Amino acid sequence: MKKTLLVVDDDATFNKLLLRQLEGMGFTAVGAASWREGQARLAEMEPDAIILDFKLPDSDGDRIIEELRGQYPVIVLTGFGSIRNAVSAIRQGATDYLTKPVDLDELELTVRRVLENAELKRFNQFYRNRLASRRPASLIGDSRAMREVRAMIDAVAPTDATVLILGESGSGKEMVAQAIHQHSARAGREMVTVDSCGLQESLFESELFGHERGAFTGADRQKKGLIEEAVDGTLFLDEIGDVGAAIQAKLLRVMESGTFRRLGGTKTLSTDARFVVATNRDIARMSEEGSFRSDLYFRLSRFVITVPPLRERREDIEPLARHFAAEFSRVAPLTITAEAMSLLRDHAWPGNVRELRNAIERAVIVARPGLEIRAEHLGFIPRGSGSDVTLRFAGEPDLEEIERTYLAQVLARHGGNRQKAAAVLGISERNIYRLIEKYGVR
């Protein structure tokens, strides 16, 4: 049976052209000039896929994709070079993207791939659902450092001891906290996570300890704090290094005696929660300098797990990268080429595992379903290539001028190697050829 496509694009000439091409490829194609018209079509028909212009006069791509909630595979059309929109659309649930101007071979390839994947996906759904009935996420990595971390988790989890987890941002501290909770007798209870960051001190205090009615203006009813919600479970306090002095004192008290009071309250309440805390700050030094209570620090430092930064356990990069590639692949897990893997292994990863996860998520999107992740899909500058960039212009340049100058500079820096330059710029090789042609860069 002929597959049907709905094309939603407000550019009438382009839309007509696309419909004709799709018909020529053997599809049935229906056009709509706005999202409202697209909705009207959807009330009458069930297309096998939708080709959607990211920018429509009456709605935008992200919103439409959310509205469609995965009912149809969506191929997003984005402006030339706006990979950011494509990434954002795919994070929202779009299946694939095409950049304008649309290359006809690319169009046919993409449409066929998307339709094929949709079939596969239906097939896979059963297995996916079974996988989704989730084992708890486990810590990946078999470096010596991670083996030590695991041994510490196993040792401390069954006790009720307070644990302090240290490590840079994104290194996996929250995952370690989860593992402690899951390996403890409290696993059947909740782990309540409290993150102080961004909250005003008094608001955070009331989040944590709760408040009585009338404790402050606007406190029109009594509210229980997260400490009470954690009852017999685990309370995970992230960013303890950012907590103010008043709250530090209250925390010390609740850790020592298991008792606390709600804000504005007179009753002494008790809790049996187990405390796990984390920070990326040097609270040992802060306690010496007086910006963190030393008695609280001593109490916390009885059992410390330090999660090393990713650059100090490079053996973990490969298994983590494969793990994330499988996590983000929408059909079969994408493989990673040797060259791409070596770039990953060499990168400095200042944002640690979180940065790696984001890089792989992006690469999976840019690489397209069913294919492999190659060096040019990794949108970061390889380490050691020198990342200080100075561009000089007479007067105020427009964006195109900046793009042209930077393109020329990156190409020169990589000896005219287009593949490397494309990897640095975070665009495909196809696109770098287009840019070179557009700007006449030699």
Ligand X SMILES: Nc1ncnc2c1ncn2[C@@H]1O[C@H](COP(=O)(O)OP(=O)(O)OP(=O)(O)O)[C@@H](O)[C@H]1O
Residue selected from 31, 61, 167, 309 as contacting ligand X according to rule CB under 6 A: 167
Nearer to ligand X, 354 or 413 (CB): 354
From the CB of 333, what's the least distance to ligand X, in Å?
A: 15
Considering only 155-163, 173-181, 211-219, 404-412, which stretch makes contact with ligand X by CB under 6 A? 173-181
From the CB of 331, what's the least distance to ligand X, in Å?
A: 22
CB 344 within 8 A of CB 336: yes
Considering only 77-85, 172-180, 181-189, 393-401, which stretch makes contact with ligand X by CB under 6 A? 172-180
From the CB of 52, what's the least distance to ligand X, in Å?
A: 29
Which 89-118 positions form the footprint of ligand X (CB under 6 A)? none
Percent helix, strand and coil across the chain, each rounded to 5? 50, 15, 35
C-alpha 436/C-alpha 422 separation (Å) is: 11
Q: 236 by DSSP, 3-state: which?
A: strand
Residue selected from 17, 109, 140, 199 as contacting ligand X according to rule CB under 6 A: 140
Residue 103: name the closest of 377, 431, 439, 440 by CA. Answer: 431
Considering only 168-176, 254-262, 268-276, 405-413, which stretch makes contact with ligand X by CB under 6 A? 168-176
C-alpha 333/C-alpha 196 separation (Å) is: 36
Query: Which residue sits closest to ligand X, CB atoms considered?
Result: 172
The HSE-up count of residue 285 (CA atoms within 13 Å, CB side) is: 4
Which 310-339 positions form the footprint of ligand X (CB under 6 A)? 320
Q: How far is CA 112 from the centre of its chain?
A: 28
From the CB of 100, what's the least distance to ligand X, in Å?
A: 33
Residue selected from 9, 19, 76, 173 as contacting ligand X according to rule CB under 6 A: 173
Residue selected from 169, 222, 248, 405 as contacting ligand X according to rule CB under 6 A: 169
State the binding string over 230-269 for ligand X (x if CB under 6 A, else -): --------x-------------------------------
Nearer to ligand X, 320 or 341 (CB): 320
Question: Per CB under 6 A, does 171 bind ligand X?
Answer: yes
The string of DSSP letters for 356-388 reads HHHHHHHHHHHH-TTS-B-GGGS-SPPTTS---
Nearer to ligand X, 27 or 292 (CB): 292
Residue 179: name the closest of 316, 278, 255, 248 by CA. Answer: 278
In 10-160, the DSSP E strands lie at 28-32, 49-53, 55-56, 59-60, 74-78, 96-99
Question: Per CB under 6 A, does 308 bind ligand X?
Answer: no
Length of the chain: 442
Question: Per CB under 6 A, does 357 bind ligand X?
Answer: yes
Nearer to ligand X, 228 or 238 (CB): 238
Question: Per CB under 6 A, does 139 bind ligand X?
Answer: yes
- The side-by-side arrangement of strands in the sheet containing 304-306 is 191-195, 234-238, 274-279, 163-166, 304-306
Considering only 255-263, 293-301, 351-359, 404-412, which stretch makes contact with ligand X by CB under 6 A? 351-359
Q: What does the DSSP 8-state code read for residue 262?
A: -
From the CB of 200, what's the least distance to ligand X, in Å?
A: 20
Q: Which two tokens stand for residue 150?
A: 């695991």
Site size for ligand X (CB under 6 A)? 17
Task: Determine the angle formed by the axes of helices 61-68 and 83-92, rounding to 10 degrees.
Answer: 20
Q: Which residues bind ligand X (CB under 6 A)?
A: 139-141, 167, 169-175, 238, 280, 320, 353-354, 357
